[in-house]
Structure 1
């Protein structure tokens, strides 16, 4: 099944670049582009794409407000925020407004494609560096959660090693390279970790590790 995507960014070169990256994938089709927030809302309402990639700072309406309106009017469209700014307040607002992902523009082509596919699958993907900052802030000043600690204690040594690296923001490719594993093996371990931690995605794996106190020090 082809994933239909709309791009919204006030920089034409960014739209062109993202369009080329996504258009090269057999399972992704860019069905429209908008250069400002008002145009994005109208385009999404008309095209009803599977996924919308939104910049935050756009003329006439910012991406966070576009996200909020889209989730109200076209709830079937998953929104991924793609921005230059990793400000924690932006991350919090994007997730609160229903975004299915938050990427920095320098995250790279592979993560951009992964974010679109993750959103389509009902999953969430956040840039690794943003994930670490977000989870460190949520962990700061809190005592360890005994339920999370008990769940983490059930991981095998290899699963714990992978989970801790996920909590530090490693991508699948980085995990494979650092641990001398194939990508398929990494994915198998991640699936097992998700089951053990009752986590829906890698963001929740990371949250469990931080909540358990395993990432202290």
Structure 2
């Protein structure tokens, strides 16, 4: 019985670290898209005319009810059939970003509704318009109140970023698979990849906790 031998990992450290770097890029880029997209979706669903709100609701329903893997295939392999050819990295960022934007939108929508109506009345009484009130009063408070669940979605996004390996993005899992194809040592490389994901997760959690503390101090 052949035991584990992590010495085989050493020659592939550069590849694994590059994969870790691209995983971080994917997570940050898709996370930013999911956060901004979540705010836009939430505001549209709550305040836009029905002719705009209902298509967005349908879009959110479709993205919540279908697997992320299928969404990535549709974006990367499907759009090219109608003349829209986008790079794999962009497809991965868009797919991850939109997938988690709909979940952030649900969280933010609840946060917006939960903001005390007196805050809105106070803003309107000092001359703020509807959109100014949303931008400067309602949305900032909704974001502050929903940081923990949005942070949870960001951590889930980091973990789900491994799926983009199926469209050829050289992130961490893809890099580990390349090494495995040359060494035929899956356990060592998958365990190493798991450890690197865990380190990324710790960094992300620390960043989220620091951001949450800063928000609490600024209140």
Same fold by TM-score greater than 0.5: no
Q: Indicate the structure whose relative CO is greater, using CA pairs within 8 Å and at least 6 residues apart.
A: 2
Give the TM-score taking structure 1 as reference length: 0.24
Structure whose residues are more often strand by fraction: 1
Give the TM-score taking structure 2 as reference length: 0.24
Structure whose residues are more often helix by fraction: 2
